[in-house]
Structure 1
Amino acid sequence: MPSRDFKRTDRVSAELRREIGLLVHAAVRDHALPSVSVSDVETTKDLDVATVWVTALMPEKSAEAVKALKELAKEFRRELSRSMRLRRVPELRFKYDESVDRGERIETLLRENPVPPAPASSEDE
């Protein structure tokens, strides 16, 4: 019997990411929230808690967006219980994913301060 490459938590996390992404997109549109998207979902092994990582188009409004999503978490969970075939839908915890902002900051610093080319070594001659 072949071994399973994906654990159940990985499959549930992927499905949650797709479903929550649609719900967040609709909430942004319906509640006039700052534009955010779901970057990842991490589910605990017992499937009790799902941490939903979101990124914002405007990082300065990320705290406002995450706060609004936390308030909508129970409504999202109720919608997920209708659309997904899970015995128990995990509790949703929204957190801001700062990795995109860090990457942009590093890229900006590299553009402003380019690394000079390394001098040719004497061994090449």
Structure 2
Amino acid sequence: MAKHRHNEGPSQRQLRVGELIRRTLSDVLMRGDIHDPDLSGRSITVGEVRTSPDLKVATAFVLPLGGRDVEVVLEALNRNRGELRRVVGKALTLKFAPELRFRADETFDRIDEARELFADPKVSRDVTE
């Protein structure tokens, strides 16, 4: 009988494969192996990669340095996702290379929002009491 995982979060295998994909994408983008004018000369951070439970889909959360031209970078990554998938497939020892999806990494925006919230005098008063 199959085990059903409800609200348990990602498995160790999902986390491990996601991290391998993250490192591979980071290396490829850092070296400039993808020849696209919208990607060349840009520093792109791959903050996290989340994989589906069956490891067939991997969503990479990316952010260009300075947070500028996010849409241009996302379009370029999506245009080149076939080539990126082949590179990831060679680096991994999986039966199938996962379909790659790219999303803007909004982690830094949320951190800034949290800082602003904690800087509010009402909130800081409540936290210190």
Band the TM-score falls in, shorter-chain normalisation: 0.7 to 0.9
- Larger deviation, residues 45-54 vs 81-90: 81-90
Query: Partners in 2 of 1:7 and 1:99 — Cα distance?
Result: 22
Q: Cα distance, 1:28 vs. partner?
A: 8.0
Indicate the structure (1 or 2) with the bigger Cα radius of gyration.
1
Contact residue 34 and residue 80 of structure 2 kept, 8 A: no
Question: Judging changes above 3 Å, is the alpha-carbon distance between structure 1 residues 74 and 20 closer, same or farther for their aligned structure 2 residues?
Answer: same
Q: Which residue of 1 aligns with 2:50?
A: 42
TM-score (norm 1): 0.73
What TM-score results when the alignment is normalised by the length of structure 2? 0.71
Counterpart of 1:98? 106
| Compared CA separation, residues 29 and 45, structure 1 to 2 (3 A) | closer
For structure 1, the residue ranges without an aligned partner over 5 or more in a row are 1-5, 119-125
Aligned AA for 2:26?
Answer: G
Structure 2, gaps ≥5 residues long: 1-10
Match for 1:8 among 13, 33, 43? Answer: 13
Judged with a 3 Å threshold, the aligned counterparts in structure 2 of structure 1 residues 10 and 105 are, in CA distance, closer, same or farther, namely closer
Asked if 2 retains the 8 angstrom alpha-carbon contact of 1:16 and 1:41, the reply is yes
Aligned length: 111
Output the aligned Cα RMSD.
2.6
